[in-house]
Structure 1
Amino acid sequence: MNAFEKPAKAMKQIYFLAAEKAFMAQSRRNRLLAR
Protein backbone atom coordinates (compact mmCIF):
# COMPACT_ATOMS: atom_id res chain seq x y z
CA MET A 1 0.00 0.00 0.00
CA ASN A 2 1.52 3.33 -0.99
CA ALA A 3 1.21 6.57 0.96
CA PHE A 4 -1.59 7.97 -1.18
CA GLU A 5 -3.86 4.95 -1.24
CA LYS A 6 -5.20 5.22 2.31
CA PRO A 7 -5.94 9.00 2.34
CA ALA A 8 -7.62 8.75 -1.06
CA LYS A 9 -9.84 5.93 0.18
CA ALA A 10 -10.69 7.87 3.34
CA MET A 11 -11.50 11.00 1.32
CA LYS A 12 -13.75 8.99 -0.97
CA GLN A 13 -15.56 7.50 2.02
CA ILE A 14 -15.98 10.91 3.68
CA TYR A 15 -17.24 12.40 0.41
CA PHE A 16 -19.67 9.53 -0.09
CA LEU A 17 -21.05 9.85 3.45
CA ALA A 18 -21.44 13.61 3.07
CA ALA A 19 -23.22 13.18 -0.27
CA GLU A 20 -25.50 10.53 1.20
CA LYS A 21 -26.33 12.78 4.17
CA ALA A 22 -27.08 15.71 1.84
CA PHE A 23 -29.28 13.48 -0.34
CA MET A 24 -31.21 12.22 2.70
CA ALA A 25 -31.74 15.77 3.96
CA GLN A 26 -32.91 16.94 0.54
CA SER A 27 -35.32 14.03 0.06
CA ARG A 28 -36.73 14.62 3.55
CA ARG A 29 -37.25 18.30 2.74
CA ASN A 30 -38.88 17.38 -0.57
CA ARG A 31 -41.27 15.03 1.23
CA LEU A 32 -42.21 17.80 3.67
CA LEU A 33 -42.82 20.24 0.82
CA ALA A 34 -44.83 17.69 -1.14
CA ARG A 35 -47.52 17.47 1.52
Structure 2
Amino acid sequence: MVMWVGRSISLLLGALLGVLLGVRSFIADWGGGNRCE
Protein backbone atom coordinates (compact mmCIF):
# COMPACT_ATOMS: atom_id res chain seq x y z
CA MET A 1 0.00 0.00 0.00
CA VAL A 2 2.69 2.48 1.04
CA MET A 3 4.89 1.52 -1.91
CA TRP A 4 1.94 2.01 -4.29
CA VAL A 5 1.27 5.48 -2.86
CA GLY A 6 4.94 6.44 -3.12
CA ARG A 7 5.09 5.15 -6.69
CA SER A 8 1.97 7.07 -7.73
CA ILE A 9 3.28 10.24 -6.06
CA SER A 10 6.66 9.92 -7.79
CA LEU A 11 4.88 9.33 -11.10
CA LEU A 12 2.72 12.42 -10.55
CA LEU A 13 5.75 14.52 -9.62
CA GLY A 14 7.63 13.25 -12.67
CA ALA A 15 4.68 14.09 -14.93
CA LEU A 16 4.36 17.56 -13.39
CA LEU A 17 8.08 18.22 -13.80
CA GLY A 18 7.97 17.05 -17.41
CA VAL A 19 4.97 19.29 -18.15
CA LEU A 20 6.57 22.29 -16.45
CA LEU A 21 9.86 21.82 -18.31
CA GLY A 22 8.02 21.33 -21.60
CA VAL A 23 5.91 24.45 -21.05
CA ARG A 24 8.95 26.51 -20.07
CA SER A 25 10.95 25.43 -23.13
CA PHE A 26 7.86 25.97 -25.32
CA ILE A 27 7.37 29.50 -23.98
CA ALA A 28 11.10 30.23 -24.35
CA ASP A 29 11.03 29.08 -27.99
CA TRP A 30 7.83 31.02 -28.70
CA GLY A 31 9.01 34.15 -26.91
CA GLY A 32 12.23 34.05 -28.90
CA GLY A 33 14.05 35.37 -25.83
CA ASN A 34 17.81 35.01 -25.90
CA ARG A 35 17.88 34.35 -22.16
CA CYS A 36 19.41 30.95 -21.45
CA GLU A 37 19.46 29.33 -18.01
Q: TM-score, normalised by structure 2?
A: 0.70
Structure 2, unpaired ranges of 5+: 33-37
- How many residues in Structure 1 have an aligned counterpart in Structure 2? 29
Moved >6 Å (runs of 4+) = none
More helix by share: 1
Q: TM-score, normalised by structure 1?
A: 0.74
Residue identity (%)? 14
